[in-house]
Amino acid sequence: MRDSYAGNILEIDLTDRKVVVMPTEESLKREYLGGCGFGARLLYERMPAGADALSPECVVVLSTGPATGTIVPSGAMTVCTTKSPLTGAIIRSVMGGFWGAELKQAGFDVLVLKGASPDWVYLFIDDGRVEFRDARHLCGKTTFEAQAELEKEAGSDVATLVTGPAGEKLVRYACLLSGTRALGRGGIGAVFGSKRLKGVVVRGSKTISVPDARGLVDYCSDLARRLLSTPAGKTFPRYGSTASPASYSALGIFGTRNWQAEVFEGA
């Protein structure tokens, strides 16, 4: 019998390797829902004003949404909120994939990272257990090479999130990759690099339950039918975001020329 999910916040200080687990308060869930809301609130509470994005004072919040780990279409999202080394402003980046669902199945709504490790490490979150593992052998490896190595070490049933050589060298637009999904905005890979954190590996086995499972199945089945009947429903499953430039440009919402224009004649 699998254990049921119980939402918690996992906070890790990489400097002294301190791990704190606290329940996700009901008021936080009701006022901020999850995902972007959690990221904004927790970053506001935990990061000092004026903190440099590449300093130990910079905080990274990786948060899930209320639908993560369920059958809700497009619900398997992970949100990263931190300070951008590229712009100096607060940045939010979102990705799909399995990483957020694994974090939630491990028992956590949110992972908060602060401080900086003295040596290169990666984190292995295995249900409720957290390990700090040596990552020096992963330095210099690309995101795909590092993920393949981590799956050898931790098992093929894990979800991985890593930075590559650009992040290690603090390139201010470096990304984080999980499989082929990217947290691609704002240089979040460089923030990981400044913390000497190569990546975070997660495995979860808990069951995500909902109050009305039958109702959710009926709702999602109807939603999927309606989505798949639209033009986007026919193209997005096959082509992803590459299906959208022509229509976005036609609507005048296709940010181009470094966001100086919303129409691109070559779309």
Higher-confidence residue of 7 and 177: namely 177
> What average pLDDT score do residues 243-257 get?
88
Q: Range of 120's domain?
A: 8-203
List, for residues 44-98, the tens digit of each pLDDT value. Answer: 999 999 999 999 999 999 999 999 999 998 888 999 999 999 999 999 999 999 9
177's tokens: 């990759």
Query: What pTM was estimated for this model as a whole?
Result: 0.89
Residue range 250-260: average pLDDT? 89
Pair (50, 179) in one structural domain: yes
Q: Is the pLDDT at 234 greater than 90, yes or no?
A: no
Residues 90, 139 within the same domain: yes
Q: Do 258 and 169 belong to one domain?
A: no
Q: Is 227 within a domain?
A: no
Q: Is residue 187 within 8 Å of 92, Cβ to Cβ? A: no
Asked whether the predicted pLDDT for residue 1 surpasses 60, the reply is no
Q: Let me know whether 260 and 172 are in one domain.
A: no
Residue 221 lies in a domain: no
Mean pLDDT of 236-263: 86
**Of 147, 182, 203, which marks where a domain is finished?**
203
Does position 102 have pLDDT exceeding 90, yes or no? yes
200-231 pLDDT, tens digit per residue, is: 999 999 999 888 999 999 999 999 898 888 87
User: 240 pLDDT exceeds 90?
Assistant: no
Q: What is the mean pLDDT of residues 21-39?
A: 95
Residue 218: inside a domain, yes or no?
Answer: no
Identify the band that residue 5 occupies on the pLDDT scale cut at 50, 70 and 90. Answer: low
Does residue 36 surpass a pLDDT of 90? yes
> Taking CA 82 as the corner, what is the angle to CA 81 and CA 88, rounded to the nearest 5 degrees?
130
Per DSSP, which regions of the chain are E strands?
A: 8-13, 18-23, 60-64, 78-83, 90-95, 108-114, 121-126, 129-134, 159-163, 176-178, 181-183, 197-203
The mean per-residue pLDDT over the stretch 102-112 comes to 96
Question: How many other CB atoms sit within 10 Å of the CB of residue 71?
Answer: 16
Q: 142 and 254 in one domain?
A: no
Q: Are residues 25 and 100 in the same domain?
A: yes
Nearest to 196 by CA among 132, 111, 147: 132
Average pLDDT, the chain: 93
Mean of the pLDDT values across residues 159-174?
A: 98
Q: Among the three residues 185, 203, 221, which one is the final residue of a domain in this structure? A: 203
Mean pLDDT on 171-199: 97
Same domain, 15 and 126: yes
Percent residues over pLDDT 70 in the chain: 98
Average pLDDT over residues 151-175: 97
Q: Are residues 29 and 145 in the same domain?
A: yes
Tell me, yes or no, whether 243 lies in a domain.
yes
- Residue ending a domain, choose from 165, 181, 203: 203
Contact criterion met (CB below 8 Å) for 207 and 4: yes
- How many structural domains comprise the chain? 2
Could you tell me the pLDDT band of residue 2, with boundaries at 50, 70 and 90? low
- Tell whether 180 and 57 lie within a shared domain: yes
Q: Is 93 part of a structural domain of the chain?
A: yes
